[in-house]
Amino acid sequence: MKRLVILILAVVLMAGVTYAQDNVMTKKAGDYTVLAGFDKTPKAGDNTFLINIKDESGKAVTDATVKVHYYMREKAGPTGKYLTMTYMGSEAGAEATNTGYKANLNFSMSGPWNIEVTITRGGQEQTAGFFTLIK
């Protein structure tokens, strides 16, 4: 059992997964710190995803173009010879708000979803990756 727990922790850490604490996830994207979360517990269907970006001095970034790509990877069957589920994904533009950015994410089903927030500013692009489990 202890080996299983250690294995799971190793996989999570290697994948760079960030878990929500108080519904806020934090990741680095180049020189930016990205804070992201949902306005309420995420579910299958429409969800509001809120994003705050800070530069290296801690100042809020409000002049970037922000896009969100969210996807669920394909899954192989028990023998690995066939897919039990194909890749599902979508993109959403994030609109600026008074406090950061927000995007509408429509999860087509429950399960594990990857979320990539791409920030374009000053001709440079940086991406922060998140993970969420939709119930």
- Spell out the residues 6+ positions from residue 63 whose beta carbon is closer than 8 angstroms to its own: 121
Q: Single out the residue of 51, 46, 53 nearest to residue 24, CA to CA.
A: 51
More confident residue, 11 or 76: 76
**What pLDDT shows up at residue 131?**
94
Quick check: 126 and 30 in contact, CB under 8 A? Answer: yes
Range 85-114 average pLDDT: 91
Q: Give the tens place of pLDDT for each residue, 16-58.
A: 333 344 579 999 999 999 999 999 999 999 999 999 999 999 9
Q: Give the tens place of pLDDT for each residue, 61-99.
A: 999 999 999 998 876 667 766 655 667 889 999 999 988
**What pLDDT shows up at residue 16?**
37
More confident residue, 121 or 11: 121
State pTM to two decimals.
0.77
Quick check: 103 and 94 in contact, CB under 8 A? Answer: yes
Segment (H or E) for 32: strand 32-38
**What pLDDT shows up at residue 35?**
97
**What pLDDT shows up at residue 81?**
66
